[in-house]
Chains A and B, each alone.
Chain A
Amino acid sequence: MSVSARLGILFLAPALIFVTLFFFAPVVLTGVFSFTNMSTATGITGGAYQVTSNVLRQLADEGFEKSTLDRLGAKSYVVSAQALVVATTEGVVDKAVLVELESKHLGKTYQSRRDFERFLKKLKNRPRSTRDLKKISPYFRASLMGQRFESEEVLFAMLASLDLGLPDPQMRHVARASYTGWVWGTGNFKRMFSLGDNLRVLRNTGIYVVATLLLFNTGFALVLAIATFYLPGRHSAFFRGLWLLPRITPPVLYVLLWKWLAWDTGFINTILANFDIQSRNWMLDTGANAWLFVVLINGFVGASMGMIIFASAIKAIPQTMLHASEVDGANRWQQIRHIILPQIKWPIMFITVYQTLSLLTSFEYIWLSTDGGPGTSTEVWALAAFHAALDNYWGNLQYGYGAALALVLVVIGVVMSLIYLRLFNFDALITRPRIEQ
């Protein structure tokens, strides 16, 4: 391998490591997580086995026999080797009793505390006082309920010691039902397609992307670029500078300014108070108003990128073409319609593709302004994924379901960035290195 190739790989290595860890891995893992039911409740690492009353209810629904369930749920007392070890090391109980239990009664099971204690009273080495006797029983309590088993084997051993006579498949069923960690499954996708709310969110996303894109990110961006092209330098610099402000303003502050404009005690209300119009939160009082602000907030930021690109594309149009058209008596409108727009066809296409993708997946400004409200009227897909997985009112963050929602956007993102790649004259970007060593 040439020196140049070796140095090249060395130079690319840091970038590759970063991109693999925090770009490729998340793409793949979004897919992986979407096939799990990970949530705050299941945790994200492992889980344990725990039979709770909920689990019993679920098993009952799934057709387990009532007698089996009663025994699973019962508090029983078992003379087990494990309990003996614990009781011995803690030393609260008289040793002699424990020795007797171990040698003669190992494995005996009692259904209630009373039965167990009645049995203890008959032992040869029983403690003198009833108080001491009562101290023994907690060690031998062997109820499944509420106990945490770190692995399936331990749970099975426990089930076996209860002597339920459950066949293997049923044991495994109990294990599955009582597992507290996350499991694999396609439940997220079933839920995604069946939930009626998602249809609404999908429609919202469509409105949001199309309205913002047409009105501002390409529409008004074109107006700005063309208008500032014709305006004298001073004016055009002013308007371009002004419309770049939202882009350089940190999002939190930018949205704060809109809140100041629209909220109850804000600017609009103060002005309207002079006309006796009731003060209200214009950003959140109705769905329609919320939409207006969502589109305005995103559009005022989005217009600048199109403006910059269109402006530089218009500047690149040969002046002679414009002069010639003027000599031919074309007015400005005809000039724009027949020369400028056809000449900047590709930049317009590029901006449309790029901005569609970024609008489709962005939720920052909506999150900061309406947070999807009022109700869910401005909830878009990307925000719904974010809400499900990382920020909801119920406290149980559903990582798996959120990942499934995000996966849809990731797939769209991959497809559209491939289209984006096609928009470039790719071969022109690659010049062969001229030093071969």
Chain B
Amino acid sequence: MVGHSRNWPVIAGLGLISIPLLVMYIYLFVDTVTDSPAGSVLPNRFTLEHWRFLTEGIEGKGNIWKVTLNTAIFASVTTTVVLLVSSMAGYALSRLNVPMRRYFLAGVLMLHAFPSVTLIIAIFLILQMVGLYNTLIGVILVKSTLELPLGIWIMKGFYDTVPWEIEMAGIVDGASRFRVWRSLVLPQVQPGIVALGVFSFLAGWSEYVLPQVLAPSSNVQVLSVYLASLIADDQHFDFNLFKSVGMFYIIPVIILYIFFQNKLMNIYGGGIKG
């Protein structure tokens, strides 16, 4: 079916459209470790000075390590909440005789499609009213909630594939439904938990709108907000520096992506099988 000789026009066409991406991502790396003479795109000098921000910081900006710590806390607490809540709710929707199960499931699907970003104004006002504005807790609660519909949907899908026989065996042995879930079913859906965990962590790590709007103050700043404020600042205009900070920011993402690529693919496709 595959005629190799006919592939080159397709490759050339795709390659042509992909040029911006190739250029952007190659130079993202190259520009962090080299200098180019003015008016040229070809680097002529290897240097590590663009990475000095890691030890010396950037004038007028917060401590990069504090910001990184905030980002890690934000992403990992969000992930924990999403995993905990979705693995419980997903199980209830997949296996338990909850009244109105049908409607709960429809609700999850609807929320999954619902564009949560439209709610940002109301969420901003709610956080102001309850006093969680400008706190990490506030953004974590909001981000976790907005991730929940996808999380529940994915966990439900994984629970659906667990054979009933496993649970029945547990029940026959006299274990409670909770025990069965905890020690027999959860280990079965471990791949789902890993996939959802990695996805939530990356989503939290990359999030920009929520922390920027709901917690802009400098002591709860995360990396996305830090980088954006760096770019917005006209005082130090230096693409090599921006890219180095950006590279620092994206390293964990790339590592996780390389290791969990296949698991993530299912979720990036909207979490819908088929």
Contact = CB atoms under 8 A, between A and B. Distances in A.
Contacts of B18: 239, 242-243
B171 interface: yes
Given A11-B88, A258-B24, A354-B113, A252 B208 contact: yes
A33 B142 contact: no
B259 interface: no
> By DSSP majority rule, is chain B's interface helix, strand, loop, or mixed?
helix
Nearest to A404: B121
A360 B160 CA distance: 33
Contact of B270 (A29, A257, A305, A437): A305
B65 interface: no
A403 interface: yes
B58 interface: no
A338 B175 CA distance: 55
A220 interface: yes
How big is chain A's contact interface, by range?
35 or more
Q: Is the interface of A mostly helix, strand, loop or mixed?
A: helix
Given A15-B86, A230-B2, A420 B250 contact: no
Contacts of B269: 305, 308-309, 312
A376 to B, nearest CB: 19
A302 to B, nearest CB: 12
Interface residues of B, number: 106
Contacts of B98: 5, 8-9, 12
Given A14-B88, A430-B101, A436-B97, A227 B10 contact: yes
B263 interface: no
B27 to A, nearest CB: 7
Given A273-B39, A312-B269, A418-B110, A326 B1 contact: yes
B48 interface: no
Interface stretch (A18-26, A114-122, A136-144, A283-291): A18-26
A250 B250 contact: yes
Contacts of B194: none
Given A18-B141, A18-B145, A259-B231, A410 B118 contact: yes
Interface of A: 2-5, 7-9, 11-12, 14-15, 18-19, 21-23, 25-27, 29-30, 33, 38, 44-45, 220, 223-224, 227, 230-232, 235, 239, 242-253, 256-261, 265-267, 270-271, 273, 296, 300, 304-305, 308-309, 312-313, 316, 322-323, 326, 332, 350, 354, 357-358, 360-364, 367-368, 382, 385-386, 389-391, 399, 402-403, 406, 409-410, 413-414, 416-418, 420-421, 424, 426, 429-431, 433-437
